[in-house]
Structure 1
Amino acid sequence: MFTWYVGLLAVSGIAMIFMANVGNGQSDLARALNAVFGIGFLGYAGYLAFVFDGGSYLIFFQAFILPVLLAINFVKSTNWAALTTRPTPTQQAWRAYQREQQRG
């Protein structure tokens, strides 16, 4: 159970740091929260994995609600229109050329 917890903390931290770096329409506050909590999660996972030498520890699975909420905010604030851009004139010409070759 301990290994799973550390792994989930690390994955959540990496995901939050990724979301902070990508941006895509997020506010500066949302990006800062992603970065701060991502570093915190990843740091705590590193502490548990490499420094913690046994004894008692508490597992807070409620902490994983935060990455889910930040991921939902990331998806909602993403500028999907910018991600689905129109092809450039060169790309359009190449596609037209490919269609002509397939017909012939």
Structure 2
Amino acid sequence: MELNREVLDCMKSLRRRLREELALDIRLSQPDAINSMLSACLTSSNEETRRLGQLLAQYSDRPFAPAGAAPRMQAGHPLLVEEHAPRPTSDSVRMYRGQRVYA
């Protein structure tokens, strides 16, 4: 993704709003700054913050689905069907972006 003036201005104003509204400190130099901003925008109740999040998603070609607009999954949906892959012997399981990660 190309960081041009429009993208940087959007990121700066969104960063400022997220800091004021949600007390989040996201630095533009972080490798996952855009993903962090977009996920924070989904939890925001402010319409302007969400609009900036949608604009940033368009600039960065990343999906942005506002809360309540996510499609509902029914039984048998491919994402709900668990694969029968062998599990590692470790008992420590955590979730990362909706996926199980065995540590």
The alignment's TM-score, normalised by the length of structure 1, stands at 0.30
Considering Cα pairs closer than 8 Å and 6+ residues apart, tell me whether 1 or 2 has the greater RCO. Answer: 1
The alignment's TM-score, normalised by the length of structure 2, stands at 0.31
Q: Which has the larger radius of gyration?
A: 1
